[in-house]
Structure 1
Amino acid sequence: MSKFFALIPAAGSGARMGNELPKQYLALNSRPMIYHAICTLCQNQFIAGVFVVLAPSDGEWHKYDWSEFSEKLVVLSCGGLTRADSVLNGLTAAKQKNLVDSNDWILVHDAARPCLTSIQLDKLINELSIDEVGGLLAVPVADTLKRCSNTENRVAHTESRENLWQAQTPQMFRYDLLTHALRSATSINVTDDAGAVEALGFHPKLVLGDAYNFKVTYPQDLALAELIIQKRNNP
């Protein structure tokens, strides 16, 4: 039977946070931010293992104690220049180490989405485990969207938000499909795994997520994530 594995690409620097420390290690509720994603994934009953893909030069990871996740957590120091490179390198390394099979499901999750819940994760797995393609957590766009026309930040026109969804992670695809998609997408600009799969002509399924599963990108996002996690820990 196919197994489920999670992969967290964590080789980036998070430059938009304006901090010298890589974003995944910024303190969040007295833990490095990446801890919260790892914890949710490792605690899931369906997930057999969690791969964290680090930059070869990463000097921060070993400053923390990860022993509580030792049964499931595997570190792969093969991160690339882009997110897609890190995911593909991690998948390749996992296969070379005989950790995954071609038909296994891979759930790629951002280290900077620390507010993922077990409910969202279970919903994604349950809805996609029998799907022919796979898919991703996402939420319908609620805000009005404006297209900018020039460097003066003038509105060119208002975009219709009908049928528009905001992509989240995890994004879940079979190992072979995801690997093939990422290898084929090297000549195009893809910002997520679903985009690479779409480029092959497939149509990933959108699974309704939660607005709390946002990506920490700017300093104010970190403060909001802190409040959310504190409230969950102290209901």
Structure 2
Amino acid sequence: MATNWIVVPAAGQGRRFGEILPKQYQMLAGRTVIEHTLERLLQIDQSIVVVAIHPADSQWRRLPVFSHPRIRTVHGGKERSDSVRLALDCLQREAHVDDWVLVHDVARPCVRVTDINKLMAALKTHTVGGILAVPVSDTVKQVDQQAGISATVSRADLWLAQTPQMFRYGLLSWSLNSAYRQQWQPTDEASAVEKLGHCPLAVEGSSDNIKITRREDLAIAEAIIKFQNESSRQSGGLELP
């Protein structure tokens, strides 16, 4: 069975978050966002977690989770795709082309382990790979530059991409390096793979796998984590968050 690698791009400085302290180090339910995220990813048995850190970042050294033997750190890049590409480059002497790589946003601390396992099971024999995603439930409006509504877009075939996104090491590395050579920034791993003509699979995840982008998202994430923990206790721990 191919090895599983998990890459966590965490070199961002959180420009949209509006704080000096990057969002991955903001406190959430008693711990930092990055601690919540990594602790969930470490529940994926035997996977090596590679965290791409900003070269000037030293705050991660203070967090006990980084002493875990299955966590490694590498220097990230300016953009998210750069961080993932550089992390993959650091694995080129160890990873095989057919190894699975899961890429997960550091700012998605509420991801359910059950959903990650569901993704891995669904893609076990898939030729390309795929992502967690959820169908769009809201009405979608197309808006012009003056914020005027120009159209209502059918949501029938629209899904919201989440992470983890899971692809074979060789394909993902080639896709991101191709994007780098062409000087364009894919917004996620799937778009880089799609650019080469491949068709990833969308695996339905959970709507509570939110991405922390703004300060108010911390309060929402805290409520989600509390709900998930209570649900886990009520089920006797059979359903991991």
TM-score (norm 1): 0.94
Q: What residue identity is the alignment partner of 1:160?
A: S
Q: How many angstroms does 1:129 deviate by?
A: 1.5
Distance 2:125 2:35 in 1: 30
Shift of 1:13: 0.8
Q: Deviations over 1:54-91 (max 9, x none)?
A: 01111211122125x62211111x21010000000000
CA contact 2:186–2:192 (8 Å) conserved in 1: yes
Task: List per-residue Cα deviations over 1:193-230 (Å, max 9, x = no partner).
Answer: 00000000000000001000011111111101011112
Residue pairs, 1:72-221, within 5 angstroms: 72-76=70-74, 78-95=75-92, 98-150=93-145, 152-186=146-180, 187-221=183-217
For residues 117 and 184 of structure 1, what CA distance do their matches in structure 2 show?
A: 32
Partner SS state of residue 105, structure 2: coil
In the aligned structure 2, how far is the partner of 1:120 from the partner of 1:14?
Answer: 26
User: Which moves more between the two structures, 225-234 or 103-112?
Assistant: 225-234
Aligned residue in 1 for 2:236 = none
Matched, 1:19 2:15: no
2:38–2:65 CA contact under 8 A, matched in 1: no
Deviation at 1:99, TM superposition (A): 3.6
Q: 1:74 to 1:99 in 2, by over 3 A?
A: farther
Provide the rounded CA distance (Å) in 1 between the counterparts of 2:172 and 2:88: 9
**Amino acid of the residue matched to residue 53 of structure 1?**
A
- The offset of 1:156, in angstroms, is 1.3
Unaligned 5+ residue runs, structure 1? Answer: none
Amino acid at match of 2:55: P
1:232 corresponding residue in structure 2:
228
In structure 2, the residue matched to 1:62 is 61
- Cα offsets for 1:161-215 (capped at 9, x unmatched): 1211000000000000000000111223310000000000000000001000011
Q: Which residue of 2 aligns with 1:33?
A: 33
Secondary structure class of the residue paired with 2:61 = helix
Equivalent AA in structure 1 for residue 226 of structure 2: Q
Q: Which amino acid aligns with 2:150?
A: A
Other-structure match for 2:234: none
Q: Distance in 2 between matches of 1:50 and 1:39?
A: 10
Whole-Å separation in 2 of the counterparts to 1:138 and 1:234: 24
Superposed displacement of residue 40, structure 1: 1.1
Q: Does the residue aligned with 1:178 lie in a helix, a strand or coil?
A: helix
Deviation at 1:131, TM superposition (A): 0.4
Q: Does the residue aligned with 1:185 lie in a helix, a strand or coil? A: helix
Query: CA shift at 1:100, angstroms?
Result: 2.0
Once residues 52 and 204 of structure 1 are traced to their aligned partners in structure 2, the CA distance between those partners, rounded to angstroms, is 24
CA RMSD of aligned residues (A): 1.3
Give the TM-score normalised by structure 2. 0.91
| Runs of at least 5 residues in structure 2 that lack an aligned partner in the other structure | 232-241
Tell me the amino acid that sits aligned with residue 87 of structure 1. V
